[in-house]
Amino acid sequence: MKTFTEYLWFNTKNEHEYVNITSDVEKIVEKSGVKEGMVLVSAMHITAGVYVNDAESGLIQDIDKWLEKLAPANPNYLHHRTGETNGDAHLKSLLVHHEVIVPITNGDLDFGPWQQIYYAEFDGRRKKRVIVKVMGE
């Protein structure tokens, strides 16, 4: 089995952003030469996430509203006693989760219909990274 690792870097303009990274991951899989295996895509920050879903703008807005309802911006989080102000970003990351694993078949990401990989930023405007680790033959 071989492995191949690259990093994607982000410095979003907004505090919350949802970035479709499917084509970036596809390029890394192609570069790896792996034809059969899997790719791990993982946010390396505790206020961001990675998920697989539809690339439809209305759904992305619905996801953002849903996350805000479940983990609203709120000055009263206990985490803020540390001097931070991003307690809601940590909670949103837990809801989305920080990583996905996608199968690779015949050198391609083996998705179901409409599936795309997204980087979800909940505490943006600073440099962050995602690891993309390809494993297989």
Give residue 80's Cα distance to chain centre.
Answer: 24
Give residue 16's Cα distance to chain centre.
Answer: 12
Position 3 scores a pLDDT of 98
How large is the average pLDDT for residues 33-45? 98
Q: Each residue of 74-120: pLDDT tens digit?
A: 999 999 999 999 999 999 999 999 999 999 999 999 999 999 999 99
Per DSSP, helices labelled H in the chain are 22-32, 57-70, 87-96
Position 120 scores a pLDDT of 98
Rounded to 5 degrees, what are φ and ψ at 39? -125, 130
CB distance 136 to 37 below 8 Å = yes
Q: How far apart are CA 61 and CA 77, in angstroms?
A: 24
Q: How far apart are CA 117 and CA 97, in angstroms?
A: 13
Q: Does pTM top 0.85 for this prediction?
A: yes
Position 63 scores a pLDDT of 98
pLDDT level of residue 30 (50, 70, 90 thresholds): very high
pLDDT level of residue 1 (50, 70, 90 thresholds): very high
First vs last C-alpha separation in the chain: 5
Q: What is the DSSP letter of 45?
A: S
Please give the domain boundaries of the chain with CATH numbers for all domains.
2-136 (2.60.120.460)
CB distance 36 to 104 below 8 Å = yes
Give residue 123's Cα distance to chain centre.
Answer: 13
pLDDT level of residue 132 (50, 70, 90 thresholds): very high
